[in-house]
Amino acid sequence: MPKATIKIKVIFVFILTIFILVLLLWQAQLPIWNAHLQVDVWVWYERLTSFFKHNSFIGLKDNELLPATLLYLFPAVLVSGWSTAPYWLYLKATLWVNLLILIGHFIGCRGQNQLVKAGLFALLILAYGPIALFRFDGLATLLVILGLIFWQKQKFSFSGFALGWATGIKIYPVIFLPYLFLLKRRRLASLKRFILFYLVALLLPVLIFFALGGRWEQVTEALAFHKNKYVSIESLPASILTTLSLLKFHQPMPLLAGYGVWGIDLSFITDLKLQFFNLIWLLPVGIFYLYLFFKKKFFNQLNVEVIFCLTLIFLVFSKNLNPQYVWWFLSLFPLLEFNPLAFVLLLFICIFNQLVYPLFYTHFLEDFYRYNQLYVVFYCLLLRNLLIMALTVLSLRNVLVKRVVRR
């Protein structure tokens, strides 16, 4: 390809990306988006206010944020000189911090069709919406991407540190940790180095938290907080149970509010307990691992599609599939072999995801769940979850069927 043509493509993708990022930043200022999205940022601000009030984490109560996540809250507060800034200033600083993190995700656009994937990834971010600027999941996924890139470059110490840090922020990377262990099961020196730096990165934020006045009880309370979360209305199990409720009782299930989510009242339609939904994902993930274990060729080299597939399987069977969790698998798009069907599925998943939250979330809670009307928002959520299921099936096919054919 002529250098002039490549240069034009680079300029086009760069302009497209900048335009989309600026558009997201503009959308983030509008009430139709930020009225719901800034709720988490306000919670972070309260945690920081508590810290600066006591000059310590010792007074922190009813906290669901893990130590590594609590440390993430501080960069935005540096704009006020290491003190509690006015909330409006902290909110703006948080948006800019997350914008920089979002830009960092473009480092994952590698390999063949690098420019095409960068441009398409920018479009996916636009469809996903400004929620990326209001949540800390972006830092966790950026660290996951860095960890996988370092792994591919045989830099296992850096890989372990990045993935350990990511796990400290969002626990979900433990889902694909056994896959990485199996990849290096015959190279014990590399595996030991990876595990050592993984544990260092996992424990370091906890030690810093203790040094800043935190206590172990606060860590265990944060872990229990997530364990006790209700089955959220956005999850696939909730969509299935709500559909059954509509068919059987002609009304949605009652809502339960607490633990940072809107959940469904399981007793309305089923005898299954919360503990069942806490553990059900272990079965499909375990079956997938069992298949991989007996197919030795899966462990010749890192296959990011396996990471992508494991993340999807976990989320499909999880009790929580909050809108920001879509970013967990969406962020891996630049590392995957380009697949047009997967791109289309991701695009519509993001569109329906944004329609439900934040654009029509109030209607979803009030009109649908409270007054049993305006079913269209529930249909958007149901479509989103069905498309995630379809993407999971496609990913399974890419991992299992194509690998068999290539043999």
- Helix (H) or strand (E) holding 51, with range, is helix 39-54
**In this structure, is residue 278 part of a structural domain?**
yes
For residue range 346-399, list pLDDT tens digits in order: 999 999 999 999 999 999 999 999 999 999 999 999 999 999 999 999 999 988
* 55, two tokens: 């000059």
**In this structure, is residue 367 part of a structural domain?**
yes
**In this structure, is residue 15 part of a structural domain?**
no
**In this structure, is residue 201 part of a structural domain?**
no
| % the chain with pLDDT above 90 | 70
**If you average pLDDT over residues 75-86, what whole number do you get?**
76
For tokens 């990165």, the residue is 201
Burial 125-155 (b: 16+ CB within 10 A, else e): bbbbbbbbbbbbbbbbbbbbbbbbbbbeeeb
For residue range 217-257, list pLDDT tens digits in order: 888 888 888 889 999 999 999 999 999 999 999 999 999 99
**In this structure, is residue 399 part of a structural domain?**
yes
**In this structure, is residue 345 part of a structural domain?**
yes
* 27, two tokens: 């959308």
* 407, two tokens: 């043999």
**In this structure, is residue 173 part of a structural domain?**
no
* Residue 81 pLDDT exceeds 90: no
* Residue 71 pLDDT exceeds 60: yes
Q: Is 336 helix (H, G, I), strand (E, B) or coil?
A: coil
For tokens 């206590």, the residue is 215
Beta-ladder partners of 263: 232, 256
For residue range 175-185, list pLDDT tens digits in order: 999 999 888 77
* Residue 147 pLDDT exceeds 90: yes
Q: Model pTM?
A: 0.93
The more confident residue out of 243 and 189 is 243
Is the distance from CB of 306 to CB of 298 less than 8 angstroms?
A: yes
* Domain encompassing residue 304: 228-407
State the total domains in the chain: 1
- What is the CA 206 to chain-centroid distance, rounded? 21
Q: Cα(282)–Cα(33) distance, rounded to whole angstroms? A: 35
**If you average pLDDT over residues 149-160, what whole number do you get?**
94
Cα torsion 179, 285, 226, 127 to 10°: value is: 90
Task: Give the per-residue pLDDT at 82.
Answer: 63
Closest CA to 171 of 64, 259, 273: 64
**In this structure, is residue 314 part of a structural domain?**
yes
